[in-house]
C-alpha cells in the first residue's frame, strides 16, 4: 500500500487554571461546542478529560497543522468553561475521578470498581491505514518489539495524585490494571485475532470488543492499525514524531509480511518487561533493545527504531524531519523530564500544571 494515512487522537486533562486540579466539566464543554476543525472532540471515561482526533493525514506537515488546530480549538472551548487543557498523562495533583454519565461508562464502573476510579489517564493513539484485516494482524505481529520505545519517547506522567511516582509514565502502570490491556502474543492470522477478541468477550470479563485495550490493535471503526501505547505528548512536535514513527513501523511490517519474512518470535513476557522498563525510566536510563533483548542506552534504542523504519520514512519523505524531531526530544527530554524540571523550579505541582497548560498550546 502506498500513501498510508496517519491520524492521531489526543486525550487532555481539564484543569482549574488557578489550582491545577482536575475539573469535571467535559460534558458541559462539549454541549457548547459547535465546530471542531479537521477532526472531532469527544468525551472520555472521566469528566475531567477530553479527547481530540485529527483527520487521516497524508503528510507530517498536515498532521502537525491539524494537531495544533485541535489543541487551539479545544483550549478555546475549555477557556469558555473556566478551565484549561493540559497535555499531561495523568493527574499530577490530588483528584477524585467522576465517570462520564453514559450507560456504557456506568456499566464499566460497576464491573471494574476502583480500577475505574483510579483511571484518569491521558494517552496518545495513532491510527495508520492498512489494506486489509490480514495485513493489519500481520503488522501487529511484527511491531510488538518496537512499541516500548514509543512509550519511552512519550512518557509524560511522573506525578500522580500529588506524589512523585518515581516512574516516567505512571499512566502505563495505572492502565495495566485493565485485564484486557497490554502486550499480545503472536496471532499468526486474522482469524486467530478475531477468535481471541471473541473469546475475551465471551469470558464475561469485558463488556464488548471495544474494551480490547491492547497496546496495538485492529481498529473496529476504521481501516487502520491503532497504536495505543503512548502517553499524551506535552509538545505537539512529539505527537507528530509518534505519528511518523508509527506509520514507519506499520509500513515496514506490512512490507516484511508481503515479502514472506516471519514475525520476530519475542516472548510476551519479555515484551512486558520492556514496556515496564520504558514506563519506569523513559529516556533517562537504559531500555530493552528489541534487537538483542538486552539493556541498551535509550538513545541507541531510539535511533535503532529510526534505522528500522528508515526505508519507509524515506519513501514518505519523512526521514530528515523525523531525525530532527528525534534529536529534539532527546536533547530537551520528554514530558516527564519537563514536569520534574518544572516542579524543581517551582516547588508547586499546581504551578507546574498551570505551566504545562501553557506549553500544551505554545510549546510545540
Whether residue 129 has pLDDT greater than 90: yes
Three-state secondary structure of the chain = CCCCCEEEEEEEEEECCCCCCECCCHHHHHHHCCCCCCCEEEECCECCEEEEECCCECCHHHHHHHHHHHHHHHHHHHHHCCCEEECCCCCCCCCCCCECCCHHHHHHHHHHCHHHHCCCCCEEEEEEECCCHHHHHHHHHHHHHHHHHHHHHHCCECEECCEECCCCEHHHHHHCCCCCEECCCCCCCHHHHHHHHHHHHHCCCCCCHHHCEECEEECCCCCEEEEEEEECCCCHHHHHHHHHHHHHHHHHHHHHHHCCCCCCCCCHHHHHHHHHHHHHHCCCCCEECCCCCCEECHHHHHHHHHHHCHHHHHHCCCHHHHHHHHHHHHHHCCHHHHHHHHHHHHCCHHHHHHHHHHHHHHCC
Predicted confidence band of residue 229 (pLDDT cuts 50, 70, 90): very high
Rounded distance, CA 19 to CA 46, Å? 19
What CATH architecture is 6-362? 2-Layer Sandwich (3.30)
Which residues fall within 8 angstroms of residue 256, CB to CB, at 6 or more apart? 142
Provide the grid cell at 181. 490491556
Give the integer Cα–Cα distance in Å for 131 and 117. 38
- CA 164/CA 256 separation, integer angstroms: 42
Q: What is the value of pTM for the model shown?
A: 0.96
- Give the model confidence (pLDDT) of 34-90 as tens digits: 554 445 888 898 899 999 999 999 999 999 999 999 999 999 999 999 999 999 999
Domain ranges of the chain: 6-362
How far, in Å, CA of 144 to CA of 1, rounded?
Answer: 21
Over 80: is that where the pLDDT of 362 sits? yes
- Stretch 220-240: mean pLDDT, rounded? 97
The average pLDDT across 296-304 equals: 98
What does the pLDDT read at residue 212?
96
Q: How confident is the prediction for the chain on average, in pLDDT?
A: 94
Q: What is the pLDDT of residues 241-273, one digit of tens each?
A: 999 999 999 999 999 999 999 999 999 999 999
> Which residue did the predictor score with more confidence, 123 or 39?
123
At 37 the pLDDT is 45
> What pLDDT does residue 2 have?
66
Residue 363, pLDDT score: 67
Of 184, 172, 174, the closest CA to residue 271 belongs to 184
The pLDDT tens digits for 97-113 are 899 989 999 999 999 99
Per-residue model confidence as pLDDT tens digits over 343-352: 999 999 999 9
> Model confidence over 132-147: pLDDT tens digits?
999 999 999 999 999 9
Phi-psi region of 329 (alpha: psi -120 to 50; beta: other; left: phi over 0): alpha
pLDDT digits (tens, 9 = 90+) for 27-39: 989 887 655 444 5
Q: List the grid coordinates of 155.
A: 512518557
Residues 82 and 91: their CA atoms lie apart, in Å, by 18
State pLDDT tens for residues 6-31. 999 999 999 998 888 899 999 989 88
Question: Up-side HSE of residue 84: CA atoms within 13 Å toward CB?
Answer: 20
For residue 21, the model assigns a pLDDT of: 87
Task: Please check the confidence at residue 361 and state whether its pLDDT lies above 60.
Answer: yes
Amino acid at each position: 500500500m502506498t500513501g498510508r494515512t496517519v491520524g492521531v487522537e489526543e486525550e487532555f486533562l481539564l484543569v482549574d487554571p488557578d489550582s491545577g486540579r482536575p475539573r469535571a466539566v467535559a460534558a458541559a464543554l462539549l454541549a457548547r461546542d459547535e465546530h471542531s476543525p479537521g477532526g472531532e472532540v469527544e468525551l472520555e471515561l472521566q469528566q475531567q478529560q477530553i479527547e481530540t482526533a485529527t483527520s487521516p493525514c497524508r503528510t507530517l506537515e498536515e498532521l502537525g497543522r491539524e494537531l495544533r488546530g485541535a489543541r487551539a480549538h479545544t483550549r478555546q472551548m475549555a477557556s469558555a468553561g473556566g478551565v484549561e487543557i493540559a497535555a499531561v498523562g495523568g493527574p499530577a495533583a490530588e483528584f477524585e475521578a467522576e465517570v462520564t454519565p453514559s450507560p456504557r461508562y456506568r456499566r464499566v464502573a460497576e464491573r471494574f470498581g476502583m480500577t475505574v476510579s483510579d483511571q484518569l489517564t491521558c494517552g496518545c493513539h495513532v491510527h495508520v491505514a492498512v489494506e486489509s484485516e490480514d495485513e493489519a494482524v500481520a503488522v501487529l505481529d511484527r511491531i510488538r518489539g518496537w512499541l516500548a520505545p514509543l512509550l519511552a519517547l512519550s512518557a509524560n506522567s511522573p506525578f500522580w495524585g500529588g506524589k512523585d511516582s518515581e516512574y516516567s509514565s505512571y499512566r502505563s502502570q495505572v492502565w495495566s490494571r485493565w485485564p484486557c490491556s497490554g502486550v499480545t502474543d503472536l496471532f499468526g492470522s486474522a482469524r486467530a485475532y478475531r477468535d481471541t477478541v471473541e473469546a475475551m468477550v465471551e469470558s464475561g470479563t469485558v463488556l464488548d470488543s471495544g474494551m480490547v485495550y491492547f497496546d496495538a490493535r485492529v481498529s473496529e471503526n476504521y481501516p487502520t492499525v491503532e497504536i495505543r501505547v503512548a502517553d499524551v505528548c506535552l509538545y505537539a512536535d512529539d505527537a507528530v514524531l509518534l505519528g511518523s514513527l508509527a506509520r514507519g513501523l506499520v509500513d515496514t511490517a506490512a512490507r516484511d509480511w508481503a515479502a514472506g519474512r516471519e514475525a520476530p518470535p519475542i516472548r510476551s513476557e519479555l515484551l512486558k518487561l520492556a514496556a515496564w522498563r520504558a514506563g519506569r525510566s523513559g529516556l533517562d536510563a537504559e531500555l530493552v533493545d528489541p534487537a538483542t533483548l538486552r539493556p541498551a542506552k535509550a538513545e541507541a534504542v531510539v535511533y535503532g527504531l529510526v534505522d528500522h523504519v528508515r526505508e519507509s520514512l524515506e519513501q514518505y519523505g519523512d526521514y530528515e524531519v523525523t531525525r530532527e524531531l528525534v534529536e529534539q526530544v532527546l536533547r530537551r527530554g520528554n514530558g516527564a523530564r519537563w514536569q520534574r524540571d518544572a516542579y524543581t523550579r517551582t516547588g508547586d505541582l499546581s504551578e507546574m500544571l498551570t505551566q504545562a497548560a501553557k506549553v500544551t498550546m505554545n510549546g510545540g
